[in-house]
Structure 1
Amino acid sequence: MVSMDFFPGVGRLGVAFSGGVDSSVLLALAVRDLGRDRVVAVLGVSPSLAADEREAAHAVARFIGVAVVEVTTFEGDRDAYRANGPDRCFHCKDELFTRIADEVVTAYRLDAVAYGENADDAQRPDRPGSRAATQHRVLRPLADAGLDKAAVRRLAREFALPCADKPAAPCLASRIPHFQPVSREKLAQVERAEAALRGLGFQDLRVRHHGDVARIELPPADLVRAVADPLRAEVHKAMLAAGFRFAAVDVAGVQSGAFTLPLVQRA
């Protein structure tokens, strides 16, 4: 287990918590170093958070031994967020950190707020949420310690976290192509489609929203299974039930930053 001072000068800490591997490791480290009575897990709740992700986050926090404080975020009320440009994540994180500052910091007497950016994410050009963290003076202990994705996964296993092998699960808005407006209806549609696929036994997945078309991203090992009988008909039926007219399986597999990276790399 890595031993270093992740939180120098911090007495009470709020962790922007999603239940993903990064924020869960950050929460576990905070509890280890500061004590559970000095740590608050803060979960932002909005239509961009899938219901099963919300439940899973609470389960991980219970395992770590920290109560979750939920804050309702209203990024969907922001014109710039709904417009869905490459900076959409900035507006989402700015809303989250603003709500935490307004509703949690004083109420829980926090000295600082931290979030789970790791060293790999810190090098990527498609993470505008990092700019919001900087503006709100939110700490990023994992990145500052040089912990990359692989190191964070190792720590998750050492802590025996239930999410240690969980695939990355970006917010539902990331499934909508940039410059196509984000709406509650589209987010709900994607959530229904992805929940149905998980019910069919798929775990690492994305359903990209292209109007009438659901473009399904799966790891290479799952591609054949998704288009072969008997699951092929079930996958198609699930996408229709979610409100799409057509279902397409993308042979490129799961693609992190599929919509944002091409835009920011071209800039």
Structure 2
Amino acid sequence: MNQELMSKYESLKAYFKDLGKVAVAFSSGVDSTFLLYAAHDAIGDNAIAVTASSCSFPKRELNEAIDYAKSLGVRHFIVESEELEIDGFAQNPPNRCYLCKKELFEKMFALAKEQGIDYVAEGSNLDDNGDYRPGLQAVAELGAKSPLRDIGFTKSEIRQLSKEFGLPTAEKQSFACLASRFPYGETISEKKLSMVDKAEQFLLDEGFKQFRVRIHGDNVARIELSPSDFPRMYDEAFRLKVYDKLKEYGFAYVALDLKGYRTGSMNETLGL
């Protein structure tokens, strides 16, 4: 193991020891799983996990969060966070993520206080600094800690250490909440969130690892795949299988994005 990387990990553990007690915002993703593991490694039962449950958070992710926290032996709390009830959220403005994160972390801080904990930590890393992420503004305003960014972890380093420690998320695909599949200004509804969730679950079940199903209007699906997965879509039988399945979920049109998968593609329309 790279000694410099292990030194970073020891710095992360020291960070948690300085906090004493912490509530980790835990989504079961690559970053938050690593963060929770490190917190538990550093301060044991003084670290708790908090997961938000909502219609924009797939059930599979919630179940994975529950299973991992249980396997680690961490106290795990689930807070209900119904984004569609947040004023302005459903209209999907460019600051949608800010509105969501502010409401979510206020609930997490309230729960932490009930448990006698002053600090809430979230899992953004250095790579998150390069994209439009208004949610990080809410994190900063509320005083949440960002240990991975503070110490300087990249996504690649997190995956490397996750593999070293045998974490189940070492090679897990990156995930963002389902609301990020909508163009800014288009109304987000529970029905359309469900359509996207079912479409992405189908592609996961078919073995795809890194992709997005973006929804445009009420019934257009734009699939982003890693370019290496394009040839699979060229097979006529499989292509029609995908089309028929997404049509079953409510999509009338299904398109393959020729640029391929990339994070934050909806931000490309903002001109930032």
User: 1:192-234 CA deviation, whole Å, 9 max, x = no partner?
Assistant: 1111222222222211101221111111121120231331121
Q: What residue number does 1:13 align with?
A: 22
Q: Aligned partners of 1:152, 1:262: CA distance in 2, in Å?
A: 30
Moved more, 213-222 or 78-87: 78-87
Please tell me the residue identity of whatever aligns with 1:138. A
- Give the TM-score normalised by structure 2: 0.92
SS at structure 2 position matched to 1:259 = helix
Choose which of 251, 254, 259 in structure 1 pairs with 2:258: 251
Shift in Å at residue 261 of structure 1?
4.3
Q: Does 1:68 align with 2:72?
A: no
Q: CA RMSD in A?
A: 1.4
Q: Secondary structure at the match of 1:40?
A: strand
Match of residue 83 from structure 1? 91
Is the CA contact (8 Å cut-off) linking 1:126 and 1:261 kept in structure 2? no
Partners of 1:227 and 1:68 lie apart in 2 by 44
Which SS does the other structure have where 1:135 is aligned? helix
For 1:91-240, what aligned pairs fall within 5 Å after superposition?
Answer: 91-102=99-110, 104-121=111-128, 123-211=129-217, 212-240=219-247
2:249 corresponding residue in structure 1:
242
Q: Find the aligned partners of 1:262 and 1:7 in 2 and give their Cα distance.
A: 39
Task: In structure 1, list runs of 5 or more residues that go unmatched.
Answer: none
Deviations, residues 112-132 of structure 1 (Å, cap 9, x unaligned): 1000011121x2241111111
- 2:17/2:42 contact within 8 Å kept: no
- Decide whether aligned partners of structure 1 residues 108 and 264 sit closer, same or farther in structure 2, where only a CA change above 3 A counts: farther
Question: 2:62 matched to which residue of 1?
Answer: 54
Q: Which runs of 4+ in 1 moved over 3 A?
A: none
- What letter corresponds to residue 31 of structure 1 in structure 2? H
Q: How many residues align?
A: 262
Note the residue ranges of structure 2 that are not aligned, 5 or more in a row: 1-5
Percent of aligned positions with the same letter in both sequences? 38
Task: Please report the TM-score for the alignment, with normalisation by the length of structure 1.
Answer: 0.93
Structure having the higher helix fraction is 2
